[in-house]
């Protein structure tokens, strides 16, 4: 099978991205030439240590952090787990066993919180309303004397909504409660300055911004006590054992520098594509854009189409060369539709028919036009064989959207 990018319209950038040429180049060079173990004392090892230090400094700069606050991990999930478990551990020592989060977090956060609940923590999951946005006021109202952590994502992976991180950071700082944000979807799309945003911990993942898979970062503000998830050697200031993935880390730094440069120009272009796509898909009867129309990532489009199911839509789009994603249960192996769409108040039967298209600067207006045409065709085709649509058309079932 050819996965040549010209043969496909790839609109699943929230799932993962193609590596940038620069990242591939530095990664390859690194694999060939920088093979030492950064913990080795000899010249070859120290050569690798220098690359690692430079990558750490570059990433710190992108986040407006200190290099000593950057911990390399295997990706966003590990960073989320470590951030939450660390804050929970510290909280528990002070008798604080309450955590505030939202109903639309990634499972790396939600499942970690579930685990903590079983260990006696109390978790408040804030609702996000039909637009998919939480408010700082909601956080303030939920804060308690025993709140150990507030963990709220910067941008949602499914509906792309942006959360008021600056306001929440300011509030948490004033109240003295640690604040973690899962910025996996945000890096390279919105500015993430940990100082300006008053973030204490932040998770990111390289493959979401044209870096390699299997590598990420946990930023932890100076003074944050981290709990180890992996025991062993003294790498990462003793907080994350295991020989560092030097080529991956160096490539991540290169990709991050690229992704955080010229962000506004890129966003303006991608936002234009997004809005055309939204406009085009809105013409399909009984369709609905999920999430806030404006307060969302520049490349995120998430639609529901009544009367059809998401997986069949995705399979037919794939056959038409369009690589998209869905909040459909069937795609994930679970039978429940997306927890994010349900949190937005969509009924189950509508949430089953969702489509997520995530664009980036590599997409074109022509591609957007093709997508609009193909999605319209496929939705019509599937509706014609859907007994649900039949009932809707006959008035035996009420339209929800």
Partner 1 sequence: MLYSEKVMDHFENPRNVGKLEDADGIGEVGNAKCGDIMRMYIKVKDNVITDVKFNTFGCGSAIATSSMATEMIKGKTLEEALTLSNKAVVEALDGLPAHKLHCSVLAEEAVRAAIKDYYDKHGVAYDKNQFCSFDCVACHAEDAHE
Binding to partner 1 (CB under 8 A): which residues in 95-124?
A: 107, 111
Is the Cβ of residue 245 or residue 326 nearer to partner 1 in the bound state? 326
> Residue 303, SS3?
strand
Question: Are 247 and 27 in contact, with CB atoms under 8 Å apart?
Answer: yes
When asked if residue 389 is in the footprint of partner 1 (CB under 8 A), the reply is yes
Size of the site for partner 1 (CB under 8 A): 30
Least gap, CB of 397 to partner 1 (angstroms): 8
Contacts of 185 (CB under 8 A, 6+ apart): 14, 153, 154, 155, 156, 157, 160, 208, 297
Q: Are strands 147-151 and 179-182 parallel, antiparallel or unpaired?
A: parallel
Given candidates 176, 223, 387, 395, which one binds partner 1 under the rule CB under 8 A? Answer: 387
| Residue 56 C-beta: closest distance to partner 1, Å | 32
Instruction: Single out the segment in contact with partner 1 by CB under 8 A; choices: 142-150, 204-212, 250-258, 325-333.
Output: 325-333
DSSP-based three-state secondary structure for 397: coil
According to CB under 8 A, which residues from 350 to 369 bind partner 1?
A: 352
Q: Are 277 and 375 in contact (CB under 8 A)?
A: no
Strand pairing report for 354-358 and 98-102: unpaired
Stretch that binds partner 1, among 76-84, 289-297, 305-313, 371-379 (CB under 8 A): 305-313
Please report how close the Cβ of residue 318 comes to partner 1 at its closest, in angstroms. Answer: 10
275 belongs to the binding site for partner 1 (CB under 8 A): no
393's tokens? 């058309």
Of residues 361 and 390, the one with the C-beta less far from partner 1: 390
**What residue has token string 């606050």?**
69
Lookup: tokens for 217? 């970062």
With CB under 8 A as the contact rule, the residue among 15, 316, 342, 401 that binds partner 1 is: 316
Q: Any contact of residue 268 with partner 1 (CB under 8 A)? A: no
Contacts of 110 (CB under 8 A, 6+ apart): 101, 125, 339
Please tell me whether residue 323 binds partner 1 under the rule CB under 8 A: no
Q: What share of the chain is helix, strand, coil (3-state, %, to 5)?
A: 45, 15, 40
Q: Does 184 bind partner 1 (CB under 8 A)?
A: no
| Token pair 């529901």 in the structure block, residue | 304
Supply the residues annotated as catalytic: 330
CB nearer to partner 1: pick between 213 and 266? 213
CA-nearest of 358, 363, 338 to 350 is: 338
Among 54, 90, 332, 380, binds partner 1 (CB under 8 A): 332
Q: Which is nearer to partner 1, 60 or 351 (CB)?
A: 351
Task: Determine, following the binding rule CB under 8 A, whether residue 319 of this chain makes contact with partner 1.
Answer: yes
| 395 binds partner 1, rule: CB under 8 A | no
Give residues in contact with partner 1 (CB under 8 A): 107, 111, 307-312, 315-316, 319, 328-330, 332-337, 347-349, 352, 385-390
């Amino acid at each position: 099978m050819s996965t040549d990018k010209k043969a496909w319209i790839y609109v699943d950038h929230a799932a993962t991205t193609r590596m940038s040429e620069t990242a591939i180049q530095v990664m390859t060079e690194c694999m060939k030439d920088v093979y030492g173990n950064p913990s080795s004392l000899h010249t070859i090892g120290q050569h690798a240590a220098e690359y690692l230090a430079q990558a750490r400094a570059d990433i710190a700069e992108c986040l407006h952090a200190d290099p000593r606050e950057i911990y390399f991990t295997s990706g966003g999930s590990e960073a989320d787990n470590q951030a939450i478990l660390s804050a929970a551990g510290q909280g528990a020592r002070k008798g604080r066993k309450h955590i505030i989060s939202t109903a639309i977090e990634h499972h790396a956060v939600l499942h970690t919180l579930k685990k903590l609940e079983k260990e006696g923590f109390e978790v408040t999951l804030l609702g996000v309303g039909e637009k998919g946005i939480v408010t700082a006021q909601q956080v303030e109202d939920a804060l308690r004397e025993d709140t150990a952590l507030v963990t709220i994502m910067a941008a949602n992976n499914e509906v792309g909504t942006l959360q008021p991180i600056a306001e929440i950071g300011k509030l948490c700082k004033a109240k003295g409660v640690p604040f973690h944000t899962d910025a996996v979807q945000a890096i390279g799309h919105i500015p993430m300055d940990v100082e300006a945003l008053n973030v204490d911990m932040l998770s990111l993942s390289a493959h979401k911004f044209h870096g390699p898979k299997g590598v990420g970062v946990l930023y932890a503000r100076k003074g944050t006590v981290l709990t180890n998830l992996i025991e062993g050697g003294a790498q990462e200031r003793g907080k994350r054992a295991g020989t560092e993935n030097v080529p991956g880390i160096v490539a991540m730094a290169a990709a991050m520098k690229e992704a955080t440069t010229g962000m506004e120009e890129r966003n303006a272009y991608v936002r234009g594509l997004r809005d055309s796509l939204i406009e085009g898909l809105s013409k399909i009867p009984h369709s609905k854009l999920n999430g806030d129309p404006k307060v969302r990532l520049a490349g995120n489009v998430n639609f529901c189409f009544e009367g059809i199911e998401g997986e069949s839509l995705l399979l037919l789009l794939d056959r038409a060369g369009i690589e998209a994603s869905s909040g459909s249960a069937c795609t994930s192996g679970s039978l429940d539709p997306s927890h994010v769409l349900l949190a937005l108040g969509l009924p189950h039967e509508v949430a089953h028919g969702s489509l997520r298209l995530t664009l980036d600067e590599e997409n074109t207006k022509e591609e957007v036009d093709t997508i609009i045409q193909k999605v319209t065709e496929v939705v019509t085709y599937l509706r014609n064989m859907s007994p649900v649509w039949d009932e809707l058309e006959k008035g035996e079932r009420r339209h929800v959207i």
